[in-house]
């Protein structure tokens, strides 16, 4: 099992490239199931979660190959086993995304009910409610969701997809994908507006779907008879980009971040500027610099275009070094605070109060052995380690490999001192 040894504090400089988005690529991989023939994602990132989804597709009977030059090729001409097995889906919740496409294309599917994970219990009730509205019969059998379309196929409907924490990203993806092949018109109200959902909708339209209202909370989908495969480069990963922005700020450095669209990151840029960073759009991305005090700022996570929950932990690392107090409130996953205790081991002063954390800024962080608990929490520990005095050891690095491709190599190329050690 790999660990990271991180020497700090370091100064960073130079240019760093953002990969294709994990959370855009996963649903596009599921969308490939809607069409016979070969779908290509030329810039699919090479991450553990993507590889788990490849395993899932292969287990369905789909042919998947990765070619370093031309990306990920998914040929879904044949699907002979429409079952998402527990052992695969439990490792990667995005596995639930095969539900909508397989129901629409084959009329039946069985997928293991995903369990909880470190960031909360993460139900899928809204996904199921949406698919039922399209006419699907859904039962739970031995931990599996068993879904069947009516004999005439799925039919369009007006569907409200809001839940107690706002819209649902993968729930919108699932119902939107199913509706592309349903008879008639589907209207999804309270659809998620995240850029990754818009990217999927644009990809589906390139496949021949008829979706309008893309990027808004009201999607209209006219069902079509069939879809064709496409080559679809996904958008840059705004969460990886945001992580590198914090890397520049927390080390009091300047970085050029390439292959990201800061128009998709307005809330993040707003908070960075409030904290004292200079953020400027530049050459396919942005330049981020912070020289001087880190100012405190309050942050509340919300569905897009609000501040993303997937950057909450990284900003907590940054604000732990602010010259004052900040309040960070989680409105998407109220329990997503596993990093708090670990950062306190590094001499941060964080106090959890319900769904909020009071961040009392400290003058410096001090290296310590810490444990990664989930993907974004581990990214926050790496950021804290680069700013802390001494050598921080991060255990369970496999969490970070789920969503960042060789993060240590990218950061070392701009001045970090991170060693991956197989222990
Ligand atoms: N929710 C329900 N019922 C549902 C679905 C969701 O109550 O049927 C709740 C969730 O428990 C949560 C809120 O609604 O409180 C929002 O969850 P959402 O469904 O939007 O999350 P998701 O689609 O399962 C995706 C990303 C997550 C990201 C969230 C929120 C992928 C593969 N995952 O998850 O990414 O945090 O949207 O933006 O796209 C990550 O990359 O680290 C990650 C966790």
* Shared fold status for 2-15+237-422 and 24-222: yes
Ligand 1 pocket residue status of 170, Cβ below 6 Å: yes
Q: List, in order, residues 6 or more apart from 409 with CB less than 8 Å away.
A: none
CA angle 175, 337, 254 (to 5 degrees): 90
Question: Which of 23, 96, 162 has the most ligand 1 atoms within 8 A of CB, as the residue to mutate?
Answer: 23
Question: 280 φ, ψ to 5°?
Answer: -130, 135
State the distance from the centre of ligand 1 to the C-alpha of 80, rounded, in angstroms.
29
Task: Please say whether the beta carbons of 289 and 49 come within 8 A.
Answer: no
Any idea which residue has 């707003």 for tokens?
270
Position 116 scores a pLDDT of 62
Parse the chain into domains and list their residue ranges. 2-15+237-422, 24-222
Beta strands in 290-324 (DSSP E): 299-300
Spacing of C-alpha 32 from chain mean position:
19
Position 118 scores a pLDDT of 73
| Catalytic residue annotation | 117
Ligand 1 pocket residue status of 113, Cβ below 6 Å: no
Position 120 scores a pLDDT of 74
Task: Please say whether the beta carbons of 382 and 4 come within 8 A.
Answer: yes
Task: Please say whether the beta carbons of 417 and 1 come within 8 A.
Answer: no
Question: Which of 133, 163, 200, 306 has the most ligand 1 atoms within 8 A of CB, as the residue to mutate?
Answer: 163
Dist. CA 285–CA 240, nearest whole Å: 12
Position 121 scores a pLDDT of 77
Task: Return the residue whose CA atom lies nearest to atom 37 of ligand 1.
Answer: 169
State the distance from the centre of ligand 1 to the C-alpha of 106, rounded, in angstroms.
26
State the distance from the centre of ligand 1 to the C-alpha of 167, rounded, in angstroms.
9
Q: List, in order, residues 6 or more apart from 155 with CB less than 8 Å away.
A: 134, 135, 182, 183, 184
State the distance from the centre of ligand 1 to the C-alpha of 414, rounded, in angstroms.
32
Position 69 scores a pLDDT of 81
CATH class in words for 24-222: alpha beta
Ligand 1 pocket residue status of 29, Cβ below 6 Å: no
State the distance from the centre of ligand 1 to the C-alpha of 202, rounded, in angstroms.
20
Position 115 scores a pLDDT of 66
Ligand 1 pocket residue status of 96, Cβ below 6 Å: no
Ligand 1 pocket residue status of 238, Cβ below 6 Å: no
Pairing of strands 349-353, 390-395: unpaired
Dist. CA 318–CA 272, nearest whole Å: 10
Position 22 scores a pLDDT of 97
Ligand 1 pocket residue status of 94, Cβ below 6 Å: yes
- Go through 353-369 and write b for each residue having 16 or more CB atoms within 10 A of its CB, e for each that does not: eebbbebebbeebebbe
Position 244 scores a pLDDT of 98
Dist. CA 333–CA 302, nearest whole Å: 10
Structure tokens given for 49: 């979660």
Ligand 1 pocket residue status of 333, Cβ below 6 Å: yes
Fold assignment, 2-15+237-422: UDP-n-acetylglucosamine1-carboxyvinyl-transferase; Chain (3.65.10)
Q: What is the mean pLDDT of each run of 10 residues along the chain (423 residues)?
A: 96 97 98 98 94 96 91 97 94 93 97 78 92 97 96 96 95 98 98 98 98 98 98 98 98 97 97 98 95 96 98 98 98 94 98 97 98 93 98 95 94 98 94
């Amino acid at each position: 099992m790999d660990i990271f040894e991180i020497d700090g504090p370091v100064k960073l400089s130079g240019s760093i490239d953002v990969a294709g988005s994990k959370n855009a690529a996963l649903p596009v991989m599921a969308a490939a199931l809607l069409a016979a023939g070969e779908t290509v994602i030329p810039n699919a990132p090479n991450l553990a979660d993507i590889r788990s989804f490849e395993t899932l597709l292969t287990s369905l009977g789909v042919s998947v190959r990765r070619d370093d030059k031309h990306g990920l090729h998914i040929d879904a001409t044949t699907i002979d086993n429409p079952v998402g097995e527990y052992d695969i889906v439990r490792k990667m919740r995005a596995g639930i995304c095969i539900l909508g496409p397989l129901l629409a294309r084959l009329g039946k599917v069985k997928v293991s009910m995903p369990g909880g994970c470190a960031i909360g219990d993460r139900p899928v009730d809204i996904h199921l409610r949406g698919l039922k509205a399209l006419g699907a019969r859904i039962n739970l059998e031995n931990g599996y969701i068993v879904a069947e379309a009516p004999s005439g196929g799925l039919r369009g409907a007006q569907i409200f997809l809001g839940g107690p924490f706002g819209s649902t990203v993968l729930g919108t993806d699932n119902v939107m994908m199913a509706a592309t092949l349903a008879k008639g018109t589907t209207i999804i109200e309270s659809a998620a507006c995240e850029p990754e959902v818009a990217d999927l909708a644009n990809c589906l339209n390139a496949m021949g779907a008829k979706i309008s209202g893309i990027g808004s909370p009201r999607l209209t989908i006219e069902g079509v008879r069939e879809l064709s495969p496409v080559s679809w480069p996904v958008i840059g990963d705004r969460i990886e980009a945001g992580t590198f922005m914090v890397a520049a700020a927390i080390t009091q450095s300047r970085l050029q971040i390439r292959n990201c669209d800061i128009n998709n990151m307005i809330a993040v840029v707003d908070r960075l500027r409030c904290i004292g960073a200079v953020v400027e759009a530049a050459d396919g991305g942005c330049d981020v610099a912070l020289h001087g005090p880190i100012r405190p700022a309050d942050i509340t996570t919300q569905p897009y275009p609000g501040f993303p929950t997937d950057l909450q932990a990284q900003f907590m690392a940054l604000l732990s070094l602010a010259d004052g107090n900040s309040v960070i409130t989680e409105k998407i996953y109220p329990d997503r605070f596993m990093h708090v205790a670990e950062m306190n081991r590094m001499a941060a002063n964080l106090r959890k109060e319900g769904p909020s954390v009071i961040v009392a800024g400290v003058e410096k962080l001090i290296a310590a052995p810490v444990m990664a608990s989930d993907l974004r929490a581990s990214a926050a520990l790496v950021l804290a380690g680069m700013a802390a005095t001494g050598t921080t050891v991060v255990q369970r690095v496999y969490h970070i490999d789920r969503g960042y491709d060789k993060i240590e190599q990218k950061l070392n190329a701009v001045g970090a001192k991170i060693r991956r050690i197989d222990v």
